[in-house]
Amino acid sequence: MLAVLQKLLPIFGNTVLPVFLVAGTGFLLARTMKLDGRTLGRILFFLSTPSLVFRGLYQSDIPYASLGRIAFAAMVIMLVAGVLGWIIAWDQERRRRVAVTLCAMMGNNGNMGLPISYFALGETGLALATIFYIVNSFLGNTVGVFIASMGRTTGDPNGSEGQGASMGSAFRSTLKVPILYAAFLGMLINGMGWELPVGIFRPVDLLADMAIPGMLVLLGIQLSSAPLVARQAVLARVVALRLLGTPALAFLFCLLMGITGLERNVILLQAAMPTAVMVTVLATEYDAAPRFVATVIFFTTLVSMVTLSLLLSQIS
């Protein structure tokens, strides 16, 4: 037992704890100063996160085949996790079943996944984790919207007739997400062997440096307003699936595909992230049990302090 603790404590202290301490500052500021994260969120969405994505891929020497494997893994793991979420919520009413599916499918690969990947796996790990995050964002804004719209029954005045428009609108909105274009430009310039002038790269570099601490502060702000509701049985199921089942699914995928080394570690770590805060946006928009979703996000984030430390002790 002592040997296990001696291995876990440095990992927790050096990798997991810094993430939660910075997020905790956002949580406390939001509670004491009544902050809402909208402005910070927009700065991160339009400036800092695209800069981080661009810089990582522009400076990367990772083969495109490796990036493709990460993208394929992210897609398969997310979709299968969504199916499993639908199955484990078999005894819930439709809206909550949709909520469980979204919570199981969408991990927090941005606010938490990128910082932890950087602390644990370095710059190369961060570049690979960025690809996982991009796929997560794309599927969340397309497939996620479609699933969320399933919570509306036929009799709902905002129901089936609006679903097609919502899905089309969601897809068009996804094409406006800056990280997609940042990733494309980063890979293009890298692949062509071009080098940016110092005067162009330095502003990008400065904005990218802001992304990780900004994401963590924003995570704390978002968690500070999470309304908690008690649904113990189904809550325990979705927390277990998100934090234990999805990493197990990722491990099986890597085993079957023969993925090893850093790629495997990135996939496992990204699959082990708690439920994404983005799910609250979808749940609120489509009335898919938003209070329950907020509770899942809060508890998966809290419990992930332990599960991520355990996982990191095995892959470090």
Q: Is the dihedral of CA 107, 294, 23, 313 positive or negative?
A: negative
Could you tell me if 131 and 69 are in contact, meaning their C-beta atoms sit under 8 angstroms apart? no
Work out the mean pLDDT of the chain and round it to a whole number: 88
- Asked if residue 193 belongs to a domain, the reply is yes
CA angle, 72 then 73 then 76, to 5°:
85
pLDDT tens for each residue of 62-114: 898 999 999 999 999 999 999 999 999 998 888 999 999 999 999 999 889 99
Distance CA 124, CA 108 (A): 19
- Asked if residue 20 belongs to a domain, the reply is yes
Count of CB atoms within 10 A of residue 142's CB?
15
Which structure tokens are listed for 121?
A: 């796996």
First to last CA, the chain: 19
- Asked if residue 185 belongs to a domain, the reply is yes
pLDDT tens for each residue of 129-138: 999 999 998 8
Distance CA 114, CA 125 (A): 9
Distance CA 81, CA 19 (A): 25
- Asked if residue 5 belongs to a domain, the reply is no
What pLDDT shows up at residue 128?
A: 95
Percent share of the chain, pLDDT over 90: 62
Output 106 or 289, whichever has higher pLDDT: 106
- Of the listed ranges 61-75, 144-158, 263-277, 278-292, the least confidently predicted one is 144-158
Instruction: For residue 161, give the amino acid letter.
Output: E
Q: What total number of domains does the chain contain?
A: 1
Specify the pTM. Answer: 0.86
What pLDDT shows up at residue 278?
A: 86
- Asked if residue 1 belongs to a domain, the reply is no
Distance CA 130, CA 136 (A): 10
Could you tell me if 15 and 119 are in contact, meaning their C-beta atoms sit under 8 angstroms apart? yes
Output 176 or 53, whichever has higher pLDDT: 53
3-state secondary structure of 256: helix
- Asked if residue 283 belongs to a domain, the reply is yes
- Asked if residue 230 belongs to a domain, the reply is yes
291 pLDDT band (50/70/90 cuts)? Answer: confident
Distance CA 277, CA 55 (A): 25
- Asked if residue 3 belongs to a domain, the reply is no
Q: Can you give the residue range of the structural domain that contains 298? A: 14-315
Rounded to the nearest 10 degrees, the angle between the axes of helix 113-149 and helix 290-315 is 140
Q: Is the dihedral of CA 113, 119, 121, 122 positive or negative?
A: positive
* Domain CATH number, residue 124: 1.20.1530.20
